Chains A and B, each alone.
Chain A
């Protein structure tokens, strides 16, 4: 049995890696990948917590979260394709048209 603290540290590490990836990278594809990594980190934390408390809730929520991640990555990839098709870029800073 892996101790809870270890799996939580692993989950945090994954989450932070994904977060930094999302913050630092400008490439839309890597952005999506980083989001996936973040969600995976969260899912691992959920599963570990569920296993620790001997409850199925964590695994149920993790399947829901994975479903959400799937939908999100589908939409994201679809957007990526449309944007690339139109503008021939994947750099999201150049796509930014929001001005405060």
Chain B
């Protein structure tokens, strides 16, 4: 495990090499550098994993920590950079390195121009390096550095095509949304330090348990601030800007960000600090409500989108809210399981849709495609698998078990409303993904020219497809004793499973009726006044951007206009104006006539003499 620090250094070094020399080397070399970096990383993770498993000493609860150096010390506060590995971080590290290997491989096949590949590999290396730093950090300050690194590299990745103004501005918008999350995290860290006088995560958890009262005000504030920060990172409902703006990036970037970076970093943070969150019960109610809102919000949008990229993005956004559903019933193990399942599903969906877009010459509008199931059966099957995963296909897909458990535990925790919304969410996401599949693969064929895709890019697809099935659902995760476990009552769960099956079948049926062939029923629904209004509203993404504009951009611009004139400099302007005025008045005195000067001198001296005599 002495190699652990290399997991951060290797991608960072690779990032530096690519940034410094990337423009001048050939595409093949860039690919070799990128793939070898991630290969080395996976190898390192393998060593760490073997080390971890052979290192079973009963007493130490499997925590390995390594002090690297002291960063700074201010007064009594000492911030040291040291790495810490336990079962939880190990799970995250393995998931991240494995998935990024797949995505890197996919990107190498997918991205054609050397410039894209160079920026992609460089910035993704930075992203992975900061993710590893975030996960291995043992104090909140180092974690904050990793958190910031994720923000910055996501911004760089989103803005890969930064030369287009249409992309650079939304990228900045996403960056601002992520910065809000960063600012909240910093606020939370400072508040925690103020209360507990330590930044070390283990110490924080121990001290919080000992010193702070459960449900006290300060615990509530700390956890709500941390939660807002996590929401901002994961792109949950009010902060989904950074998540939805990822559609501007190339497909591998979207996959990397949506299915790995944003979700796993925020999920890790919540799991790491889960004992702190557990101390406040209000926060879980808030989490539940917000995730329900997010679920409805994003699923409705995904129901009417025409662009494949944004459709898939909003489906993923809806899936994220399930993670927060699990958080809200503090079943941390289940949330970890669901996070992995989410990563698989969303990566599968994104990879298959990127191959689809590639095949169709970059055409992203689903209404301009059609009838592809005969010519591209592999993509069709991949889409069907991801759809099955999204709609929790009974007893086949792993999502069935995870989502079923989520809904079951919601219901068992007397949160019937949230459980129902989660069920409705499954129905809605089924509808939207089947709409995509039916329109793209079954309707009349409109596109005639197709481009070819290298066979290699189907390999990640196959791996992801196998992983999304129920084979991997019960892998033992080494997290005993690190995060609190909750034993689910599994009695009578069959009823729920049957209910879930019914919902899935219902969803498929509705989708078949509405979307299977281009019929008029859907138009009838849309053409009713309410339907038209809702369609417009959802198509415009609930007019959320306009709301943001109204709430933040307009007042900001108004203030900026006000300050532009600088009220404080009014005084200076007044002085300048006065001087100019007086100058204009007495300018005629200076006319260059000697007699006039003499006269004024004489007049002046007469006045002075008179003053001397009279006074």
The interface of chain A, by Cβ under 8 A from chain B, is 19, 22-23, 26, 92-93, 96-100
Given contacts A19-B602, A23-B602, contact A93 B592 (CB under 8 A): no
Find chain B residues with CB under 8 A from A97 CB: 592
- Across-interface contacts of A26 in B (CB, < 8 A): 595
Question: Is the Cβ of B595 less than 8 Å from the Cβ of A92?
Answer: yes
Which chain B residues border A93 with CB–CB below 8 Å? Answer: 593, 595
CB neighbours (8 Å) of A99 from chain B are 591-592
Q: Is B592 a contact of A96 with CB atoms below 8 Å? A: yes
- Inter-chain contacts of B576 with A (CB < 8 A): none
User: Does B491 lie at the interface of the complex (its beta carbon under 8 Å from any beta carbon of A)?
Assistant: no
State whether the Cβ of B547 lies closer than 8 Å to any Cβ in chain A.
Answer: no
Which residues of chain A have C-beta atoms less than 8 A from B614's C-beta? Answer: none
Q: How far is the CA of A23 from the CA of B594 in the complex (A)?
A: 9
Interface residues of B in 578-615 (CB under 8 A from A): 590-595, 598-599, 602
Residues of B with C-beta under 8 A to A19: 602
Quote the shortest CB–CB distance from A100 to chain B (angstroms).
Answer: 4
Give bound CA distance, A49 to B598, whole Å: 27
Please, which residue of chain B has its CB at the minimum distance from the CB of A20?
A: B602
Asked whether, in the complex, the Cβ of B593 is within 8 Å of the Cβ of A96, the reply is yes
Q: Known: A19-B602, A23-B599, A23-B602. Is A100-B590 also a contact (CB below 8 A)?
A: yes
**9 A-B Cβ contacts within 8 A?**
A22-B595, A23-B602, A92-B595, A96-B592, A96-B594, A97-B592, A98-B593, A99-B591, A100-B591
List of B residues within 8 angstroms of A98 by Cβ? 592-594
Besides A23-B595, A96-B593, A98-B594, 10 other A-B contacts (C-beta < 8 A): A22-B598, A23-B602, A92-B595, A93-B595, A97-B592, A98-B592, A98-B593, A99-B591, A99-B592, A100-B592
* Chain A residues positioned under 8 Å from B590 (CB to CB): 100
Q: Give min CB distance, A64 to chain B, whole Å.
A: 24
Return the CB mask of B513-527 against A: 1 if under 8 Å, else 0: 000000000000000
The chain A residue sitting closest to B587, CB to CB, is A100
CB B101 to nearest CB in A, in angstroms, measures 83
Distance in angstroms from B462 CB to nearest chain A CB is 91
How far is B42's CA from A28's CA once the two chains are assembled, in angstroms?
105
Q: How far is the CA of A11 from the CA of B598 in the complex (A)?
A: 20
Q: Can you list the 7 inter-chain pairs with the closest CB atoms, starting with the nearest?
A: A100-B590, A99-B592, A98-B592, A23-B599, A100-B592, A96-B593, A23-B595
How far, in Å, is B142 (CB) from chain A's closest CB?
71
Q: Which residues of B contact A100 (CB under 8 A)?
A: 590-592
Q: Please tell me if the beta carbons of B591 and A23 are within 8 angstroms of each other in the complex.
A: no
- Cα distance A56–B554 in the bound complex, in angstroms: 93
Please give me the residue from chain B that is nearest to A22 by CB atom.
Answer: B598
Give the distance to chain B from A52, nearest Cβ to Cβ, in Å: 22
Q: Please, which residue of chain B has its CB at the minimum distance from the CB of A26?
A: B595
How long is the Cα–Cα vector from A99 to B590 in the complex, in angstroms? 8
- Nearest chain-B residue to A19 (Cβ)? B602
- Return A96 CB to nearest CB of chain B, in Å: 6
Could you tell me the distance between the alpha carbons of A26 and B592 in the complex, rounded to whole angstroms? 15
Rounded to whole Å, the gap between the CB of B122 and the closest CB of chain A is 66
Query: B595 to nearest A CB, angstroms?
Result: 6
Closest chain B residue, CB of each to CB of A25: B595
Within 8 Å CB of B593, what residues of A?
A: 93, 96, 98
* Listed residue (A19, A97, A100) with the most chain B CB atoms within 10 angstroms of its CB: A100
CA distance A19 to B599 in the complex (A): 9
Q: How far is the CA of A97 from the CA of B598 in the complex (A)?
A: 16
Instruction: Indicate the member of A23, A26, A97 with the most B CB atoms within 10 Å.
Output: A23
Give chain A residues whose Cβ lies under 8 Å from the Cβ of B594. 92, 96, 98
Bound complex: CA of A22 vs CA of B291, how far in Å? 98
Give the Cβ gap from A9 to chain B, nearest Cβ, in Å: 16
Residues of chain B with a CB closer than 8 A to A22's CB: 595, 598
* A26 CA to B596 CA, complexed, in Å: 12
Chain A residues contacting B591 (CB-CB under 8 Å) are 99-100
Docked-complex contact B598 and A23, CB < 8 angstroms: yes
Please give the distance in Å from A22's CB to the nearest CB on chain B.
7
In the assembled complex, the Cα of A96 lies from the Cα of B599 at a distance in Å of 16
User: What is the chain B residue whose CB lies nearest that of A24?
Assistant: B595
Measured CB to CB, the closest approach of chain A to B218, in angstroms, equals 75
- When C-beta atoms are compared, the residue in chain A nearest to B603 turns out to be A23
Q: How many whole Å from A55's CB to the nearest CB in chain B?
A: 26
**Distance (whole angstroms) from the CB of B360 to the closest CB of chain A:** 80
Q: How far in angstroms is the closest Cβ of chain A from B269?
A: 75
Residues in chain A near residue B598, CB distance under 8 A:
22-23
